[in-house]
Structure 1
Amino acid sequence: MKPILLLLAFTSSALALEPGFESLFDGKTLDGWKHDGNWSVVNGEIARVKKGGSLTYEKAKVPDDFELRFDWKVAKGCNSGVYYRPGQYEYQLLDNANSPYGENPRQSAGSLFFCMAPTKDVVRPFEQWNEARVVCKGSVIQHWLNGEKVVDFDYADPRWRDAVKLVGYRGTDLTKRGGKLWLQDHGADVWFKNLRWRAIPADEPVVSENLTPMPVSEAALKKEQLRIQELLNPKPKPAKKSAWQHQELKRFKAEEAHQGVAVDDTFFYAITNAAIGKYRKDNGERIGGWQEAKDGRIKHLNAGLVLDGKLYCAHSNYPEMPMKSSVEIWDPQTMQHLESIDLTDAEGSLTWVDRRDGLWYACFAQYAKTGDPAKTRIVMFDAQWKKRGELKFPSEVVTKFGKNSSSGGSFGPDGLLFITGHDAQELYVLDLPAKGEVLSWKSATPISAHGQAFAWNRTEAGILYSIDRKTSEVIVSRITKS
């Protein structure tokens, strides 16, 4: 082999020489990574090239015990991060010298952001490559930067109680596992290469030295305390003036009106945890229904949708853990249960589904009782129920959720997405994002129903069916533009 070919062969196989490591980036494509078109491969490097969102590795979740290695560099003043476990588990990337974040070591390069400062500042100047390494096993967390171990602590050790509490203000539970690896777009250019990881075997010891972090100055501490107060007492943004009006038309008694309602040309279907009642739309007469057997599998039905001659209902095992979800399907003519589609892998409690432009939109809720309401999201599936993307709720709507989540949702007039919370007498109006993954907040409209699931009457524009669970009634309303 000629010398230059020998050198190329050695370079291309360098990562393979590290025992047990798997490459996460082939140097040519972003295969296996999900993004919104704002990331690209440039000169064999992953580059953030324009405004957008995070870059997420979709092929596998981060192992519970793992070692991650990567090289990174940032533009002047850039603040970015690598998130490697659920919540705000972030290896901080920063131009310490030119970013205001650099004032606080707990926010500086190599830190476990908003938790544990590095032992020293060893970051290289902006636009120069840095070498990073993360090792996590059990309750031990270790960060390296440019060959030096700069973070090493056992979060189960009582001496780090304050640090664990601090990151907890961001909603981080250091005991959580099973998240996806993602690279942050924080508004400035950042580059990555040589990303690889390995699972750490159970018999491989990782012992913490519990290194002493850099001290935080009084000025930085004051700013940190202000940030904590903002996290504890967020200021909700005022709802925009609604472009929609609600007019209640009539009510029908329905003993099953506890979770939601579905509607077709002739009937409405009142839904409770393990039963569905079928009622005439003209006079509210109950003509049939379905009831789960005692100790049956179906525990917690939510919203319903009649589509193409089938009744689809969202189902979960709430409040049991771990969370499990499915779509349950009935023949609305006979009220015979036809099929169950398991969506447990999507993570969360399924509360509603709707279909638009060939895609299913499914809301996987989280509640304060079992998780974090801010993590409620909409997952998009194709006709075969294969995941095709995700959408997040804007902060204004998350604030409306409080300790609960979205109970109902469906596309309605003007192609907008209308959703409800758990108890508030409001209908929230959203739109799909032009880019990115966060839904666009439009307005909140007062309604008669106290949250819960609802359904649009597809045969008469603007007619909404909702429920009042306290009175066991189905409410028929008209929603029109102001």
Structure 2
Amino acid sequence: MIALLSALLLQAAAEPPAVPFAPAAETLRRYPSGARQGVAVGPSDLYAVSNWQLVRYDKQTGEKRAEWTGDPARFPHINSCAVIARELVCASSNFPGVPQVSTVEVFDPVTLAHRRSVALGLGTGSITWVDRKDGFWWAMFANYDGKGGEPPRDHRHTTLVKFDAEWRRLEAWALPASILARIAPMSVSGGGWGPDGRLYLSGHDLPELYAVRLPAGGGVLDHVETIPMEAEGQAIDWDETAPGTLYGITRRTREILAMKVK
């Protein structure tokens, strides 16, 4: 009996804690696009993100407004973007190349002309998204079990990093086991701070959104709830002009999706 009880306790300790599922996000609208990695949203524009290509669309009509295509050798993997302080700020890496190199690439949000780069170097992972909150920069660095990974790190080494305004690293957090179990063997592809003050993360493949918050203590994020959505992971972005509206993509049709998160 004691041996059985010990085995059950060990099994329970090994399993991630149960996290509630919230009501599914409602898809409000679809936009034809060629997006492969994700989408960004501004007051009047949408931006399809596809590695070394960015395309700006009118948010109301869906009409194509501008396009930028970079050198694939210099910009092999722009994963996500966000409109921040009148600039299009993008997370870029050399994925699936190793050693992993991460940069932040900044573009004009109207013409899509490349303005500047912030080189973040090696050693943490491949940056997948970047956001700005409370005067700080926040970014997620992905790690993988296989392609694009850098042993001995694997998906469990995916890290949220907080930077100051000059991109000096201040703090960092790990993902909880409840999220790691669902994204393995890949990592977090999208993320951003929501209108409710929580951080929302998306994986690489599953049609789910993970709401997390900074912990009151320790170095592991708190997983609050999981929200089903149509977008199969990839980069996401909140519409600041329409609180509660989240944009994502579906790789099945390469459409941009406008979704309502309840």
TM-score by length of 2: 0.91
**Which whole-Å deviations, capped at 9, do the CAs of 1:42-70 have from their partners, x for residues lacking one?**
xxxxxxxxxxxxxxxxxxxxxxxxxxxxx
Task: Give the deviation of 1:402 after TM superposition.
Answer: 1.3
2 CA distance for matches of 1:470 and 1:314? 23
Greater radius of gyration (CA):
1
The question of 1:325 aligning with 2:107 is answered no
1:296 deviates by 3.5
Match of 1:453 in 2: 235
Local SS of the residue matching 1:404: coil
144, 166, 187: which is aligned to 1:367? 144
Which among 64, 67, 70 is matched to residue 286 of structure 1?
64
Whether the aligned pair in 1 keeps the contact of 2:53 and 2:70 (CA below 8 Å) is yes
Shift, 1:245, TM fit: 4.2
**Distance in 2 of aligned mates of 1:465 and 1:414:** 16
Equivalent residue pairs, number: 252
Q: How many Å separate the matches in 2 of 1:346 and 1:269?
A: 29
1:355 maps to what in 2?
132
Q: Which amino acid aligns with 1:459?
A: T
RCO comparison, higher one (Cα < 8 Å, 6+): 2
Q: Mark the runs of 5 or more structure 1 residues left unpaired by the alignment.
A: 1-221
Structure 1 CA distance, aligned partners of 2:88 and 2:65? 16
Does 2:84 correspond to 1:307?
Answer: yes
Per-residue Cα deviation, 1:383-423 (whole angstroms, up to 9, x for no partner): 00001110111111111111000000101031000100101
Pairing 1:87-236 to 2, within 5 Å after superposition = 234-236=14-16
Please tell me whether residue 421 in structure 1 is matched to residue 203 in structure 2: yes
Give the whole-Å Cα distance in 2 for the aligned partners of 1:315 and 1:470. Answer: 23
2:234 maps to 1:430: no
Q: Is the 8 A contact 2:236 2:247 kept in 1?
A: yes
For normalisation by structure 1, the TM-score amounts to 0.50
State how far apart, in whole Å, the 2-side matches of 1:346 and 1:362 are: 14
- Select the structure that is richer in strand: 2
CA distance in 1, matches of 2:163, 2:16: 32
Query: What RMSD, in angstroms, separates the aligned Cα atoms of the two structures?
Result: 2.1
Which 4+ stretches in 1 moved above 6 angstroms?
Answer: none
Q: Which residue of 2 aligns with 1:267?
A: 45
Q: Residues 148-198 of structure 1: CA distance to partner in whole angstroms, max 9, x if unpaired?
A: xxxxxxxxxxxxxxxxxxxxxxxxxxxxxxxxxxxxxxxxxxxxxxxxxxx
AA paired with 1:354? Answer: D
For 1:334, the aligned partner's letter is: T
The question of 1:277 aligning with 2:55 is answered yes
5+ residue gaps, structure 2, are none
Identity of aligned residues (%): 38
Q: Which amino acid aligns with 2:256?
A: V
Task: Give the counterpart letter for 1:320 in structure 2.
Answer: G
Match of 1:250 among 4, 29, 48: 29
**Structure 1 residue 439 corresponds to structure 2 residue 216:** no
Does the aligned pair in 1 maintain the 2:100–2:123 contact within 8 Å?
A: no
Q: Is the 8 A contact 2:208 2:232 kept in 1?
A: yes
Residue in structure 2 matching 1:403, options 182, 185, 200: 185
Structure 2: distance between partners of 1:364 and 1:354: 13
The residue that corresponds to 1:478 in the other structure is: 260
- The letter of the residue matching 2:95 is Y
Question: Which amino acid in the other structure matches residue 443 of structure 1?
Answer: E
Cα distance in 1 for partners of 2:171, 2:123 equals 11
